[in-house]
Amino acid sequence: MAVSPLIVHPTEGTLLPSRPLSSPLKRQQQATHSAVASSNGTPALARPPGQDLQAGLGMSLDLVEQMNEDEKRKYVKGRKLGEGTYANVYLGHARHDPAVRVAIKKIKVQKEFRDGLAPDAVRELKHLQELHHPNIINLLSVFSSKDQNLNLVLEYLPLGDLEELIRDVDHVRYGAADIKAWMGMLTRAVWFCHDNCVLHRDIKPNNLLIAADGEVKLADFGLARSFADPGRKMTANVITRWYRPPELLFGARHYSGAVDVWSVGLVFAELVIRAPFLPGNSEVEQIALICRQIGTPTDDNWPGVTQLKEYTVPSDVTPVWDKSAYMGRFGAVGAEGVDLLMRTLALDPRKRITAREMLEHRWWRTEPRPTRKEELPRKQDGGEDKMGSDLKRRNGVVEDENNNNARGAKVARKLDFGATK
Amino acid sequence: MATEDARYRQSSQFRLWSFSPSQLGAMREKANLLARASISERLLSAPRSNSASAPTSNANTPDADGTSTLPEFLTPSEEALLVTFYTSELLRAGDHAEMADEIKATAAAFFRRFYITNSIMTYPPQEMLIVALFFGCKAEGSFPRITDFVKNFGRESPEEVLAGEFLLCQGIRFAFDVKHPFRALRGAVMDLRRIGDIEHTRIDSAERRAREILRFSPLITDAYFHYTPSQIMLAALSLADRGLAERLIQETFHFVHPQPNSGAGTPMATDTPSASSLPDSDIATIIGPVIRDKVLGTVEACRDMLSKEPPERREHWSSKVTYKAQLQPIRKKLNKCRDPDRWNLVELQRSRREQVLNKSGGGSDDGGSAAGPAGPSKDDDVFGGDIKRRKVAKGAMDDPFGGAL
């Protein structure tokens, strides 16, 4: 959306003088916007320079380093929750108040990535610094350790993720009101990203973490990016396969928030049937599944789709499934719920419902009302360790915008459809 | 979170990187003072024989008998002049490498942000500007190979750029999102076209000129620190065609009570969801004459700032005459007063890493343990959790403040 001058609102004129900030240190303390007060920040300038110096090395701290040091000291790092190739995750708490628990995600220096700070870390930090919303994981602070590893201090989300709840059929029972509550929180998160011109590009149940009070939080922004200006090329190789929309499977190089909405639709379907709706083992199979379970994309239901570079579909065309077919499988969420689901799974991204329109859908206002978050079903144990493994994971697909390595493999699959039958 | 204003106030650009002119001046002065103090300290305490990382320049070392003479330091205004000059160099380098406008603009913002809390006497600007361009690419979503990247600038070794990257990230407070006025300009052009009675050729030429201004003037001045992207856009548009900018502001801040049956206010005002969801009285305030005059005043002030560095000044900054007359003397001064420990980014990183290695020699409680007893790796943790070890490692040279607590 173009930022027009209409956006100029009253406070902008008074924007600067209204803030009584004087020093960068003070600013930093206010800006951490966390539950953690900077009670312990020792002002850098109060320290006599050189007092701490060891002759010869002379590694005293300058202003920025001191700010970093202060930030680091606000937290105490506890036991490790998880270890992965991309990051380790630790339990931690605020130094001033051990009751304030946090998760510290330490991003490792990646040995296989020789080009400095890795793309996942750049993307994740860039977007989490800007997005503050009850349904998006909150970045409380960032600091570096001396070995130049990045440490992201995140709010602590002890109740695991949505995938665990979905899968634990024996112990976790939930109904339409619970699904509506979870979907509401997910949809608000996605709407907020899109309203801030950010695509998440990896929405799936195990990136939806659950806070102590039951609130769902969208996490893992390692594949996120800002909306591209018209004409800019983007990579099609994002979003974990089962949740990847047809336009990306067909190699579209410019796309919109509709890609995330498709993923939201598949999370919705998965919540209902308690199993992944379209679990393709390969891209070929993923396309075949979409064709079989939703309908074959054709120029009739999606004008222009055959022009997409990687467009290939099985030869037996399946018509797009109608509402009664969906009612059979997803009727548990009622007719309105099914209507919403079908709109999120529209093959043509231009006809797919937007996140904003989703929020305006009638389903939210029909019975049953969504469950209050405190009363949602939850897992009884193991949440701590789950957050560790959720955060340390590498993203489903990692590839930068300019890299075309995956293209060859996609071309190859064109020869391969027969095998999936 | 109703209004876009509220949204903007959540951005790191506002939270961390917006200042009044006096705040900005104070911060720069503080960075200058701090650099003087620590450079003096380092020069005085470092024996000239074994300071491996000291620059080759001998002008800043103590006399043979030890009675030290400190060099003359740069003043804050000299530093500011150099930062401006090197910002222009950054933009030139970005042009040379044919980078996108957003990347150059983001890199310029990073560079200027970095030198608010860091003195130009501490870290080398001609290196940091390349680092800023490299990281600007990444922040804007393109991830070049470092070896290809440095070739653009006739360099063989990526070491310096990589050594400076983390330093830059820390200096910009890990805030990688910079909001620019380019999209605002596109929006303004659409709004102007919609008004209907303005010739398109006039709009087009104003857009071209405004874009040219946005690609230079706000980037080389402090505009990004003081003004929002839309204010900067309006100021640039005003420099390009004052009539159009004023028209746009008049049309925007023009409240007409909606007719009961038409529901339309001004054609443009009805398009904003944030405005239309508010009661009429609020809208009347927001787009009323008081705010309009305030916006006009702010845009005028921003216009003044941009007009000091019009795009034609690119030649001024790149000319040899300017360099000789204004910059060379300061550069010479800088060569004598620069930081002996930090000027060489590669050395700095190496010595830091060595410190980490020395320090965590006893093994670490995480990361390293997984790697077995082979000794600490770069991934070893060096904070939190290891309080005990800190206490044992007395006199750890790299941790001047001792262990945690």
Residue-wise pLDDT tens digits, A323-364: 999 999 999 999 999 999 999 999 999 999 999 999 999 999
A106 is in an annotated binding site: yes
- Smallest CA-to-CA distance from A263 within A284, A246, A251 is with A246
A9: nearest CB among B4, B10, B26: B4
Q: For chain A, say whether B250 makes contact (Cβ under 8 Å).
A: no
- Smallest CA-to-CA distance from A81 within A158, A177, A179, A2 is with A158
Tell me how far the alpha carbon of residue B325 is from its chain's centroid. 27
Which of A115, A143, A402 is the best substitution to test chain B (most B C-beta atoms within 10 A)? A115
Count the neighbouring beta carbons within 10 Å of the beta carbon of residue A383. Answer: 21
List, by residue range, all CATH 1.10.472.10 domains of chain B.
16-171
Residues A5, B367: C-beta atoms closer than 8 Å: no
pLDDT band, residue A40 (cuts 50/70/90): very low
Provide, as residue numbers in chain A, all residues whose Cβ is less than 8 Å from the Cβ of B351.
57, 59
User: What is the Cα–Cα distance from B110 to B86, expressed in whole angstroms?
Assistant: 12
Compare all CA atoms of chain B with the CA of A223 and give the residue at the minimum distance. B141
B166: nearest CB among A77, A148, A402: A148
B182-253+288-311 carries CATH number 1.10.10: no
A86 is in an annotated binding site: yes
Q: For chain A, say whether B24 makes contact (Cβ under 8 Å).
A: no
pLDDT band, residue A264 (cuts 50/70/90): very high
Give the model's pLDDT for residue A44.
Answer: 32
Phi then psi dihedrals of residue A103, to 5 deg: -110, 130
pLDDT band, residue B274 (cuts 50/70/90): very low
ipTM of predicted complex: 0.79
pLDDT band, residue B353 (cuts 50/70/90): confident
pLDDT band, residue B190 (cuts 50/70/90): very high
A414 is in an annotated binding site: no
- Per residue in A9-39, pLDDT (tens digit) is 333 333 333 333 333 333 333 333 333 333 3
pLDDT at residue B72 greater than cutoff 70: yes
Nearest-CA distance B325 → chain A (Å): 32
Give the model's pLDDT for residue B204.
Answer: 97
Which of B138, B292, B365 is the best substitution to test chain A (most A C-beta atoms within 10 A)? B138
Tokens of A171: 């112990």
B174: alpha, beta or left? (left if phi > 0; alpha if psi -120 to 50): left
Q: For chain A, say whether B252 makes contact (Cβ under 8 Å).
A: yes
Residues B174, A129: C-beta atoms closer than 8 Å: yes
Provide, as residue numbers in chain A, all residues whose Cβ is less than 8 Å from the Cβ of B45.
50, 53, 55-56, 58
Provide, as residue numbers in chain A, all residues whose Cβ is less than 8 Å from the Cβ of B15.
31, 33
A8: nearest CB among B1, B161, B230: B230
Report the predicted TM-score, pTM, of the whole model to 2 decimal places.
0.80
Segments making up each domain of chain A, as ranges: 162-420
Give the model's pLDDT for residue A399.
Answer: 40
User: What is the Cα–Cα distance from A289 to A420, expressed in whole angstroms?
Assistant: 10
A50: nearest CB among B11, B45, B191: B45
- Per residue in B81-97, pLDDT (tens digit) is 999 999 999 999 999 99
Burial A302-330 (b: 16+ CB within 10 A, else e): beebeebebbbbbeeeeebbeeeebbeeb
User: What is the Cα–Cα distance from B171 to A18, expressed in whole angstroms?
Assistant: 25
Arch. (CATH architecture) of B16-171: Orthogonal Bundle (1.10)
B contact residues 140-159, partner A, Cβ 8 Å cutoff: 141-146
Superfamily of domain A162-420: Transferase(Phosphotransferase) domain 1 (1.10.510.10)
Provide, as residue numbers in chain A, all residues whose Cβ is less than 8 Å from the Cβ of B231.
8, 12
Give the model's pLDDT for residue A382.
Answer: 55
Nearest-CA distance A190 → chain B (Å): 15
CA distances from B279 to B6, B38, B284 (A): 17, 57, 9
pLDDT band, residue B376 (cuts 50/70/90): very low
Count the neighbouring beta carbons within 10 Å of the beta carbon of residue A237. Answer: 24
Nearest-CA distance B261 → chain A (Å): 24
Which of B13, B16, B44, B117 is the best substitution to test chain A (most A C-beta atoms within 10 A)? B117
Looking at chain A, how many residues does it have? 421
A309 is in an annotated binding site: no
Q: Quick one: average pLDDT of B102-114?
A: 98
Q: Quick one: average pLDDT of A381-402?
A: 56
- Give me the percent of chain A exceeding a pLDDT of 90: 63
Helix (H) / strand (E) element for B34: namely helix B21-45
Provide, as residue numbers in chain A, all residues whose Cβ is less than 8 Å from the Cβ of B255.
none
Count the neighbouring beta carbons within 10 Å of the beta carbon of residue B37. Answer: 17
User: What is the Cα–Cα distance from A157 to A171, expressed in whole angstroms?
Assistant: 20
3-state per-residue secondary structure call for B3-17: CHHHHHHHCHHHHCC
Provide, as residue numbers in chain B, all residues whose Cβ is less than 8 Å from the Cβ of A119.
138, 143
pLDDT at residue B29 greater than cutoff 60: yes
- Per residue in A170-183, pLDDT (tens digit) is 999 999 999 999 99
